[in-house]
Amino acid sequence: MTESLGNDPQQDHYSAPVNPEWPPPPSYQPPMGTAAGMAPEPAPRRKRNRGPVTLLAAVAIVAAAVGGGTAYAFQELTGKTTVASSGTTTNVVPSSKRGDVAAIAAAVSPSVVEINATLSSGSSTGSGVIITSNGEIVTNNHVISGAQSIKVRTSDGKSYTAQVVGTDSSKDLALIKLQGASGLKTASLGNSSGVQVGDTVVAIGSPEGLTGTVTSGIVSALNRDVTVSTDENQGQNQNGDGNWPFQFGGRQFNGDTGSSTTTYKAIQTDASLNPGNSGGALIDASGNIIGINSAMYSSSQQSSSSSDAGSIGLGFAIPINTVKSDLAKLRSGATG
């Protein structure tokens, strides 16, 4: 600073003061109109600029802290087709409506679709979650495994043809893309690492083809080892009943899983899940997707007794953090 001031050509404009008790002249020329002999008025403009700069810096820090939440807000404002992802809790529903099943259903239902896949030996019905406004949808691999064609119906009744983008049978996940879609309502992908046993959850899907069915319950356990089949023919053998076979706790449910299987850590819920819920959304109290529903016990296959009918509160969902970590692979067109 001393060097730059010493080189200021305007310093030569002033001579030494005649009267020694006067203050030394400033190193810059006083503003026009300043009375002779008076010190120039301070320049408040520089001081005023510090406030906005500090504010912007603070905003940048906050934006970095909220991470994916900021990305979600940016998407809503700009209409970009990036994944609506939230690293922290985003209030999809108003804070005053947190945990209100009706409010959650109203906010999230437009982001959940019904999927109908035509197979070589039948059909398969499941659900999916819209993650981009131009029609990227996450679902279970077993919903579309072996599909010759895929039809998707949104909550407003519109129908689309879909193509498979990528699959990952080791996690029972798939990504499909609607043809000619735009302006779709995207889901907010939450943070499953913050889920706790006892948390309120809502499930939305298309059980038995009943589009937009809503059920609710709690998270009843975490990190359950669920084993499912990776054999494409297993899906075809279900002939559309949606009862995908799986193993849990040493027992097999909904049929034989076969010799080709994979195991993943799942969220357990007592929210009622039925055939057709596979690939649908498991949602937290704030309206964020915390899991993709993937396996459920169907007692109707085990016994015809009326005492065994209905949900027994044994359903599983793939944690949404697993889904988010797998998206790049799915988008690359990976299969397997």
Pairing relationship of beta strands 289-296 and 112-119 according to DSSP bridges: unpaired
| CA nearest to 90, candidates 71, 64, 62 | 71
DSSP for residue 189: B
Residue 304 backbone dihedrals phi, psi, to 5 degrees: -90, 0
Active site residue 278: yes
Which listed residue (111, 127, 142, 168) is catalytic? 142
Task: Return d(Cα 114, Cα 129) in angstroms, integer.
Answer: 9
Which listed residue (188, 192, 278, 311) is catalytic? 278
Active site residue 13: no
- What's the CA angle centered on 134, arms 133 and 140, to 5 degrees? 85
Chain-centroid distance of CA 160 in Å reads: 22
First to last CA, the chain: 65
Burial degree of 285 (CB within 10 A; 0-12, 13-18, 19+): buried
β-pair partners for 230 = none
Task: Return d(Cα 27, Cα 228) in angstroms, integer.
Answer: 80
Active site residue 272: no
Residue 299 backbone dihedrals phi, psi, to 5 degrees: -70, -20
Which listed residue (85, 109, 155, 172) is catalytic? 172
So which residues are the catalytic ones? 142, 172, 278
